[in-house]
Chains A and B, each alone.
Chain A
Amino acid sequence: MHVAMTVNGREVSGDVEPRTLLVHFIRENLRLTGTHVGCETSYCGACTIQVDGAAVKSCTMLAVQADGATIRTVEGLADGDQLHAVQEGFWERHGLQCGFCTPGMLMSAASLLEQNASPSEDEIRHAIEGNLCRCTGYHNIVRSIEYAASKLRGEEPAPPDWTMDFEGVS
């Protein structure tokens, strides 16, 4: 079957089997490999992208269902050399280690901040519950998203909370 969609501002099309998952179309046909497959069952969230502005796990959607849609993947987050605030936040606040969950996490975070400019820590934790990370314990992911929220509001982000060059609790 023939599908056509807009991905990261570019018109793309291709021929797929009816059963082809959207994530496979993105990875195999478009060779956009930033969107990862961690479970193929919609639990881990590594494949999260935006479809028509909403965060969607692209392993739970068929490519044919995205025909005509506007899609944004992690490769479309930055504006040229200008990182999206969530990308900058994850870099500044050590929001990633192995990086495998990161693209999906970034897309969920970006979607959250589009809907809620000033999320509380609880709201952030709730918003990313569908994105599993095994490396960070989420602590620095939360701080990264708080950093991004501050930047998007035009405010100075809170300083990092990691332990510095003294002994005892920082």
Chain B
Amino acid sequence: MTTSISAMGGIVRRKEDPALIAGQGKYVDDIRLNGEAVTAFVRSPFAHARINSIDTSAAAAMPGVVAVYTIDDVRHLGPVLAQVPVGVMRPLLADGAVHHAGEAVAMVVAENSYVARDAAEAVMVDYEPLPAVVDMKAAVAGATKVHEGSESNVLVTWFSHDWWPGVFELVDHRPAIAEAKERDDVVVVSQEMTNQRLIPTAIEPRAVLADWNHGYNRVNLWSSTQMPHALAGAVAKTFGLPSNEVHVVAPEVGGGFGAKLNIYPDEILTVFASKALDRPVRWTETRREAAFSTIQGRGWVATATITGTKDGKILGYELDGIADMGAYSQNFTVAIPVLGLFVAQGQYDIPLAWQVSCVQTNTQTTDAYRGAGRPEASYYIERIIDMYAAAIDMDPADVRRKNFFKKEDFPATTAIGLTMDSGDYERNLDTLIADVDYAGLRAMQAAARAEGRYVGIGLSTYVEVCGFAPSVLAEFGFGWDAYGMPTSFSGSGLVRVNPDGSATVIIGTGPSGQGHQTTWAQVVSDRLGIDYDSVRVTHGNTAESPTGVGTFGSRSAAVDGAATYEAAEKVGGKAADIVAHMLEASAEDIRFADGGAHVAGSPGHKVTWAEIAEVAYKPHKGPDGMEAGLEAHAVFSPGNATWPFGSHLAVVEVDPDTGNVEIQRYVGIDDCGNRINPMIVDGQIHGGIAQGIGQAMFEDAIYDAEGNLLSGSLIDYPIPAAGDLPAFELGWTNTPTDVNPMGVKGIGEAGTIGSAQTIVNAVVDALAPLGVKHIDMPLRPRRVWDAIQKARG
């Protein structure tokens, strides 16, 4: 591979892979520092209990134990910082009481992990169990309080007509919808549905390594985080340092999915221990800790209602729900449902009345898990629209089409006042319908039904919102102010042409498998004509990237990618002046390609990047007054979010004797605007769909009534294995955006946002002849079988 890698649509093998396929990728737990100590946590077996005493003496006396800490040692550091601090903040270690199973009570530091774990078991904690509330509805009712002395378990209720008072003046659609319900020509379809809790389950457990240097009074911190700059800010604020004295590195990160988008107590506590003990301190999570002390996601119960005419015109969509926040608020927690609200009405130009209450329970905190509010919102509207279609005996594709925002409606204003800049939903759905031969599929289904088989076709459309913008959203909580890093969710890209003509690109993201080294090298190679193999991209490093917001919300390409594009343009502008001087031409006529620059129309009249760089770093060779060096940094703050969309379809067959669901086909037509590397885009969609299917079919974070997590291992919490999934059939439409210079929208979460309801719609469609109208996820065989038995009476 050499030059001419197209930034748009170019497929190139990933730069990340040679190390990763050779076992040379360095994740946090692969890094060792001389003299390091290892940490293990004592965790509560109770969901709610008073702590009468903690006896650390036996543990502290064990050979190889370095220290044992409780809240008394770290209370002065305050609670774990949260960006949206609504609710009760998590103490670094339990302070007098525990509020969910898995909460850290004490921290053991030892010479190795075996000793640390042994010692953790030797810490004696005297718990006095208190009543726990786990069920969301019971928590709303409030007979039992999650936190002693609190007045209510409900933290906030988000209303669609009033979600940001003073900023948006919005219509309250509730009276009009109530009026519509009285009409003779309408049907009202309503269903309560659960969108169950999930455990993100990155295959790499989280890990932290802290190394405090008392000489410099600074700390180096390696963490498997998606937001290194925010972590640097949080550590700095907690320990009273300027942020530039905290150097956070997120090296290889083995999957994030939102679970690594948080400040965690272990990150702060390893820093504390390293400072206190004057030696490096490491912590690596166990799988069980990943299940009940790293954040979880989803956890909603809500009633969706459509009021619409009998010929398919929707007059109102209502959602009345509860979202489970768990015991403590962390990074975004109560703001996650707001992300659902952003896409609550899906692709449809319909009146919206939405309210979701955020309630605390004695369970682990919920926060961003791939999609973060948007899969929940898409699930509810796409399920109820299918039930509405069934109620009026209309094809679900036709009902959707009838209510779409039309192409000419864009830019379209949503019911909550946001502007969707671009979209062409009809063309996208039509592409799916044509490519799968939808009519042929329905004919196949009819033939199967005639044979007594239960074949279903499920359809879903979706809208995603990503690259959260404009910057005023920072005042709502979409920024890092609470971590002492007051930023909007802007992007950072630094492009440097080095004296030898190679290029270094430093970006503000914290990826975990998305291929940023590859994608950004493509962008810079394309803009500057620098050989792809000569571009090195680094990320996840607070000492290298001037600013950084991290990787989440499908934001990286649309925001940091755009910043990098702009930085490359700036470098190109300066380089053009240098080349114009070298070639005695006009700067406007300079073109970059094939490892150097030439004069337009005269490809032989050229210089290489090494030659350009030498002039840049030896200013006496350049134009008069030229500043030495050849680099530029850009911070890109988009004027709007981006709004990808798509249409998904699944074909399933249900075995009525066992309840087993076989996914026979899964087809997705996604529109993320321009695609930088279609291979990587496809991979993101594949993984997203797999997680949506995981929710639809298998995954369920189950707590019992006392608050014990019953699904704390990978056997009780089955994520999809290879044999559980079909090959995916993908296609695309392209409706570019102009909110960033590359016309890209983001694709990291789209597959997840589009898929869970596609599967449930298909299964319910399969069982429609039996009269089954809804089954709550996950659609494990027993649950499907039960629904069949109930329908058969």
A-to-B contact residues, CB < 8 Å: 17, 19-20, 27, 31-41, 43-44, 46, 73-75, 77-78, 83, 87, 90-92, 94, 96-103, 106, 121-122, 124-126, 128-142, 160, 162-165, 167-170
Which residues in B have their C-beta under 8 angstroms from that of A31?
Answer: 32
Does B18 lie at the interface of the complex (its beta carbon under 8 Å from any beta carbon of A)? yes
Name the distance in Å between A63's Cβ and chain B's nearest Cβ: 12
Given the complex, which residues of A lie within 8 Å of B689, measured CB to CB?
137
Q: Pick the contact of A162: B22, B679, B734 (CB < 8 A).
A: B679
Residue of B whose beta carbon sits closest to that of A73:
B23
> In the bound complex, how far is the Cα of B24 from the Cα of A100, in angstroms?
11
Q: Most A CB atoms within 10 A — which of B436, B719, B727?
A: B727
Bound Cα distance from A75 to B201, whole angstroms: 26
Nearest chain A CB to B640 CB, angstrom units: 24
Q: Find chain A residues with CB under 8 A from B14 CB.
A: 91, 94
- Closest B residue to A88 by beta carbon equals B21
Q: How far is the CB of B136 from chain A (nearest CB, A)?
A: 27
Cα separation A36 to B203 with both chains bound (whole Å): 10
The answer for the CA separation of A142 and B30 in the assembled complex, in Å, is 28
Docked CA distance A90–B683 (Å): 12
Per-position binary interface string of chain B over residues 683-719, scored 1 when its CB falls under 8 Å from any chain A CB and 0 otherwise? 1001111110000000000000000000001110001
Instruction: Tell me if B515 counts as interface (CB < 8 A to partner A).
Output: yes
Residues of B within 8 A of A142 (CB): 722, 727
B16 within 8 A of A: yes
Are A164 and B678 touching (Cβ within 8 A)? Answer: yes
Of the candidates A39, A106, A129, which one forms a contact with B721 in the assembled complex, judged by CB atoms under 8 Å apart? A129
The one of B20, B25, B727, B730 that contacts A170, using a Cβ cutoff of 8 Å: B730
Contacts of A121 in B (CB 8 A): 727
Q: Give the Cβ gap from A16 to chain B, nearest Cβ, in Å.
A: 11
Chain B 411-455 per-residue mask, 1 if CB under 8 angstroms from chain A, else 0: 000000000000000000001001110000000000000000000
Q: Which A residues are CB-close (under 8 A) to B24?
A: 34, 75
CB of B690 within 8 A of CB of A138, answer yes
B148 at interface, CB cutoff 8 A: no
Nearest-Cβ distance from residue B728 to partner chain A, whole angstroms: 5
Closest chain B CB from A9 CB (angstroms):
15
Q: How far apart are the CA atoms of A99 and B24 in the complex, in Å? A: 10
B535 at the interface (CB under 8 A from A): no
CB distance from B440 to the nearest CB of A (A): 14
Q: Which residues of A contact B550 (CB under 8 A)?
A: none
The residue on A at minimum CB distance from B514 is: A97
Some 15 contacts from A to B, beta carbons below 8 A apart, are A38-B203, A39-B713, A44-B714, A74-B21, A87-B22, A122-B723, A134-B687, A134-B691, A136-B686, A137-B720, A139-B725, A160-B11, A163-B682, A164-B678, A167-B734
When the two chains form their complex, are residues A169 and B435 in contact, meaning their CB atoms are under 8 A apart? yes
Interchain CB contact under 8 A, A167 and B252 = no
B18 CB contact (under 8 Å) in A91, A106, A124, A125: A91
Contacts of A165 in B (CB 8 A): 9, 678
Q: Take A34-B23, A162-B11 as given contacts and tell me if A167 and B431 are in contact as well, using a CB distance cutoff of 8 Å.
A: yes
Q: Determine which of B435, B513, B728 lies in contact with A168 in the assembled complex, contact meaning CB atoms within 8 Å.
A: B435
Q: Is the CB of B731 within 8 A of A97?
A: no
Q: Determine if B567 is an interface residue (Cβ-Cβ < 8 Å).
A: no
Task: For the complex formed, measure the closest distance between the CB of A103 and the CB atoms of chain B, giving whole angstroms.
Answer: 5
Kindly state whether residue B254 has any CB partner on chain A within 8 Å: yes
A92 to B12, CA, bound (A): 9
Instruction: Report yes or no: A136 in contact with B678, Cβ–Cβ below 8 A.
Output: no
Kindly list chain B residues whose C-beta atoms are within 8 Å of the C-beta of A38.
203-205, 287
The answer to whether B686 touches A140 (Cβ under 8 A) is: yes
Q: How far is the CA of A98 from the CA of B690 in the complex (A)?
A: 15
A-side contacts of B252, CB under 8 Å: 98-100
Complexed CA–CA distance, A44 and B21 (Å): 18
Q: Which residue from chain A places its CB closest to the CB of B734 in the assembled complex?
A: A167
Asked if B682 and A75 make an inter-chain contact with CB atoms under 8 angstroms apart, the answer reads no
The 4 A-B residue pairs with the shortest CB-CB distance, nearest first, are A34-B23, A100-B254, A98-B513, A137-B690
What A residues does B669 contact at CB under 8 A? 168-169
- Beyond A100-B203, A163-B682, A168-B434, 5 additional contacts (C-beta under 8 Å) are A43-B715, A92-B13, A98-B202, A100-B204, A162-B682
A40 in contact with B287 given A33-B30, A135-B687, A167-B731 (CB within 8 Å): yes
Q: Is B17 in the interface zone, CB < 8 Å from A? A: yes
Cβ of A90: which chain B residues have Cβ within 8 Å of it?
Answer: 17, 21
Residues of B near A37 (CB, < 8 A) are 29, 205, 284
Interface residues of B (CB under 8 A from A): 9, 11, 13-14, 16-18, 20-27, 29-30, 32, 114, 201-205, 252-255, 257, 284, 286-287, 431, 434-436, 512-515, 667, 669, 678-683, 686-691, 713-715, 719-723, 725, 727-734, 751
Q: How far is the CB of B298 from chain A (nearest CB, A)?
A: 16
Whole-angstrom distance from the CB of B678 to the nearest CB of chain A?
Answer: 6
Contact of A134 among B9, B16, B257 (CB under 8 A): B257
Q: Is the CB of A132 within 8 A of B203?
A: yes
CB pair B731 A168 closer than 8 Å: yes
Give every chain B residue within 8 A of A99 (Cβ-Cβ).
16-17, 20-21, 25, 252, 254, 513
Contacts of A43 in B (CB 8 A): 713-715
B203–A134 CB distance below 8 A: yes
Residues in chain A near residue B20, CB distance under 8 A: 96, 99, 102
Q: Report the separation of the CA atoms of residues A148 and B688 in the bound assembly, to the nearest whole angstrom.
A: 25
Residue of A nearest to B427 (CB): A167
From B203, B734, B751, contact of A44 by CB (8 A): B203
Bound: A160/B677 CA distance, A: 14
Given contacts A99-B16, A101-B203, contact A34 B730 (CB under 8 A): no
B21:A138 contact, CB within 8 angstroms: no
Q: From B203, B431, B733, B751, give the contact of A98 (CB < 8 A).
A: B203
- Which residues of chain A are within 8 angstroms of B683 by Cβ–Cβ distance? 94, 97, 135-136, 140
A124 CB, nearest partner CB in chain B, Å = 7
Which single residue of chain A is at the shortest CB-CB distance from B688?
A137
Contacting pair B719 A39 (CB below 8 A): no
Contact check, B286 vs A40: say whether CB atoms are below 8 A apart. Answer: yes
**Which residues of the partner chain B approach A27 to less than 8 Å between Cβ atoms?**
30
Given A41-B713, A98-B252, is A138 in contact with B725 using a C-beta cutoff of 8 Å? yes
- Which residue of B is nearest A162, CB measured? B682
Residue of A nearest to B727 (CB): A139
B722:A141 contact, CB within 8 angstroms: yes
Given A142-B727, A170-B731, decide whether A132 and B714 contact each other with a Cβ distance below 8 A. yes
Complex interface: chain A residues within 8 A of B515 (CB): 97
- Which of A34, A101, A125, A141 is in CB contact (< 8 Å) with B22? A34
Chain A residues positioned under 8 Å from B30 (CB to CB): 27, 33
Q: Is A128's CB under 8 angstroms from B682's CB? A: no
Q: Are B204 and A36 in contact (CB under 8 A)?
A: yes
Are B719 and A100 touching (Cβ within 8 A)? no
With a cutoff of 8 Å between Cβ atoms, the chain A residues found around residue B27 in the complex are: 33, 36, 100
Whether A167 pairs with B721 at a CB distance below 8 angstroms is no
Are B722 and A125 within 8 A (Cβ)?
yes
Task: Report the bound CA distance from A30 to B695 in whole Å.
Answer: 39
Q: Is B23 a contact partner of A33 (Cβ separation < 8 A)?
A: yes
A38 to B290, CA, bound (A): 10
Is B725's CB under 8 angstroms from A134's CB?
A: no
* B167 shortest CB reach to chain A, Å: 37
A100 to chain B, nearest CB (A): 3
Q: How far is B201's CA from A41's CA once the two chains are assembled, in angstroms?
A: 14
Cβ contacts under 8 Å, A41 to chain B: 287, 713-715
Question: Which residue of the partner chain, among A39, A96, A98, contacts B512 with CB atoms under 8 Å?
Answer: A98
Which A residue's beta carbon lies closest to that of B434?
A: A168
In the bound complex, how far is the Cα of B29 from the Cα of A139, in angstroms?
28
Known contacts A44-B714, A163-B732, A168-B435; is A132 also within 8 Å of B719 by CB? yes
